[in-house]
Structure 1
């Protein structure tokens, strides 16, 4: 079985929607980290104060085939109906993996059987 890590960087207000979309498709554990991005666009200013939007970084270890489905679901959350992107989502292949829960492996195996 091959694995990928999916990384999604989403605005704080879309965090739960992205998590729900991933879980609905079979994502198990999700690590959530707070972040702050620095873009090439000028920061928004309000009465002389600049605002950097808070972002959440979601990390998921997934079976490789499942990762593409979840990537597309999260992409729909951050780019609904072709709007400008409000985040970023990508996958990376995993070469070595330790510590994954056996019940999660069983879920991944069942997903593979269901899709074949």
Structure 2
């Protein structure tokens, strides 16, 4: 079984929707981190300091096929009308893995059986 790491950088207000979409599609554990972004065009200025808003970074270890489904679901949240994206989502191949809960692997295997 091949695994991927899915990284989603979403605005705080979209965090719960992204989590719900991932969980509904079969993601088990999700690691959340708070982040601040700096873009090419600062969005707000407060006493001369630029502020682009707060983001959440979601990290997930997923079965490779499942990661693409979740990526597309989060993309739909970030780009609801195919205009400018409000975040970023991508996957990375995972070569070595230790410590994943065996029940999660069984869940991935069940998902594979259902989709094939």
Category of TM-score, reference length = shorter chain: over 0.9
For 1:74 and 1:4, locate their aligned partners in 2 and report how far apart those are by CA, in whole Å: 16
Q: What residue number does 1:75 align with?
A: 75
8 Å CA contact 2:42–2:51 kept in 1: the answer is no
SS of aligned partner of 1:81? coil
Computed over aligned residues only, the root mean square deviation of the Cα atoms, in angstroms, reads: 1.3
Aligned length: 116
Q: Which runs of 5+ in 2 are unaligned?
A: none
For 1:45 and 1:35, locate their aligned partners in 2 and report how far apart those are by CA, in whole Å: 18
Deviations 1:37-94 (A, max 9, x none): 1111133236766433000000000000000000000000111021210000000000
SS of aligned partner of 1:93? strand
Q: Which residues of 2 match residues 89-104 of structure 1 at below 5 A?
A: 89-104=89-104
For 1:64 and 1:38, locate their aligned partners in 2 and report how far apart those are by CA, in whole Å: 30
Q: What residue number does 1:34 align with?
A: 34
For 1:64 and 1:85, locate their aligned partners in 2 and report how far apart those are by CA, in whole Å: 24
Q: What residue number does 2:43 align with?
A: 43
Q: What residue number does 1:2 align with?
A: 2
Q: Which runs of 5+ in 1 are unaligned?
A: none
TM-score, normalization by structure 2: 0.94
